Amino acid sequence: MNHISRDHGDRSQNDRLQRTKDRKELTPVAVKTVATLFDLWALPERKAAKLMNVDEATWAAMDDGSWKGILSAEQLERTSAFVAIYRSLTEIFGETNGESWPTTNNRLDPFRGKPPVDFMATGDIDKIQAVRRHLKVVQEAAAV
């Protein structure tokens, strides 16, 4: 990827996520936010752990508020993408239907009949970003 073409704001945000002090400051609210989202989406612990790229014991501690670690830059990017996905879903489907969308079988590409969370859990952050982009396209099409 050509980092020069990135917007200055993206570069500043990425630089911020590389600093431990900033990640430490962002971690508590990010963990609480993603735990709330995953609860709304009724995700099993195993799936939630996979989506956050942690083991199940770590996710359990994150979910119950006892985890004292610091999220990596990549985990903070995941959290940001999940928040964006939630916002798009709420705008497209409303809160109730938006909450069930991630765990509902979806016949469209790239989901191929499986729930979007299954698609996101099969890969790295690129899969999560693909879902984010998919929803952005749906959102833009609905606005036309």
Q: From the first residue on, what is the mean pLDDT of each consecutive set of 10 residues in the chain (144 residues)? A: 40 67 95 97 96 97 97 96 96 89 92 94 92 93 82
pLDDT value, residue 123: 77
Q: 73: closest CA among 12, 2, 20, 138?
A: 20
Coil/strand/helix, residue 114: strand
Q: Is the dihedral of CA 62, 18, 76, 123 positive or negative?
A: negative
Q: Are 31 and 67 in contact (CB under 8 A)?
A: yes
Q: Are 56 and 45 in contact (CB under 8 A)?
A: yes
User: Where do the domains of the chain lie?
Assistant: 3-143
Give this prediction's pTM. 0.86
Q: 39: closest CA among 76, 19, 20, 65?
A: 65
pLDDT value, residue 102: 95
